[in-house]
Amino acid sequence: MSNLLIKKIMLTLCCITLTACGGGSGESQTAPPKVVTPPAATPTLSFSLAETSLAINEQEEVKVALSLDYTGAGDISYAIAFSPEVDEVSAELINNELIITADELENTVTSTLSITVSSSNSDVASIEKTINLSLINTSVEAVLAEVELWKNTEQVFKFDDFDDAVTFYTKSAYFNGGLNNSAIAGKILEFTAIKQNSIGKKFSPEVTQLAEASAHYQNNSITETELKELLVNVKTLAGAEYNKLAENINLLASLTNDNLPALPSLNYQYSDKYQTFSGIIGNTQMGSIVGESWKFNQQYQFLNSLIPSLGNTTTCEAN
């Protein structure tokens, strides 16, 4: 065997030995375990209201419960708005309740209340909830009912309280020397002319405006205050015409030598009891309701059979 071959064999054995021994000196080392950090929890926000629509009367307060759950670290804020804006309604948050307050209203209106919840950290998306509101003007119902009465022109401008009384007063003036026989017919014609002119006032602009007022109020073209003003205009007009007739009666009373009293100041109004317009029925200077009926006091007792609406009219002679 040659020397060269022997050297190769020895070199190979040395390599095998070194590999079996681990290739060198020193102890083996273990790698440290990896530290795994869990992902941060994502903040959440949930928000709800107990109601989605409400009908609220004027001068009424309504409370709505709210539910809120927020897992973030920021501060929660609330933004409240109305669309369209209504000056007479407000809302505030107290102890997890949304308190909505309606003040006195001029019209019945609708509005949408929106409440938006947000975090100061902006770590969650804002949430908006809405409530549809119907804000009801309850006080106008009585006004509308009265408007219906006063726009009945045939009844309002009927003016029949004095139809029999004028004859009675005229004859009394004649019997007591205040009128001569030839003047009787003229006085009655004078009263009739005043009455016909007063009845004609039912075609006045004030009356036409009131006839249209209810519809204008319902579509919010006018307010409750404006509706009342139109009603007062017709009441004032009718009352003034009624008092012209009363003044004519009082002129006749002055000719009776104090045998018949003058009429007091009269307030022309509607009587629910007798379903008629009168300035006499309900006038406390002339009488009162006793039981179910109107009773004149002693001074005006003679009118009991002269007022058509009382249903007691009979042929009555003056003396």
| DSSP-based three-state secondary structure for 189 | helix
Whether the CB-CB separation of 236 and 259 falls below 8 Å is answered with no
- Per residue in 61-116, pLDDT (tens digit) is 999 999 999 999 999 999 999 999 999 999 999 999 999 999 999 999 999 999 99
State the alpha helices, DSSP H only, in 98-221: 140-150, 153-156, 165-175, 181-199, 205-218
Q: What are phi and psi of 106, to 5 degrees?
A: -95, -25
198-234: pLDDT as tens digits: 999 999 999 999 999 999 999 999 999 999 999 999 9
Taking residues 294-312, report their average pLDDT. Answer: 93
Contacts of 142 (CB under 8 A, 6+ apart): none
Split at pLDDT 50, 70, 90, the class of 18 is very low
pLDDT of residue 7: 56
Residue 175 amino acid letter: F
- Give the pLDDT confidence of 225-274 residue by residue, as tens digits: 999 999 999 999 999 999 999 999 999 999 999 999 999 999 999 999 99
Query: How confident is the model over 25-36, as pLDDT tens digits?
Result: 555 567 777 777
pLDDT at 177 over 70: yes
Q: How confident is the model at residue 142 (pLDDT cuts 50, 70, 90)?
A: very high
Structural domains in the chain? 45-137 (2.60.40.10), 141-310 (no CATH)
- Is the per-residue pLDDT at 311 higher than 90? no
The answer to whether 99 and 91 are in contact (CB under 8 A) is yes
Residue 40's pLDDT band, with cuts at 50, 70 and 90, is confident
- Name the 3-class secondary structure at 55: strand
CB 199 within 8 A of CB 283: no
Residue 8 confidence (pLDDT): 56
Q: Report the residue count for the chain.
A: 319
Residue 306's CB is within 10 A of a number of other CB atoms, namely 22
C-alpha closest to that of 268 among 152, 161, 153, 144: 161
Mean pLDDT, the chain, integer: 90
Degrees, nearest 5: CA angle 313-317-319: 135
Instruction: Give the model's confidence band at 2: pLDDT under 50 very low, under 70 low, under 90 confident, else very high.
Output: low
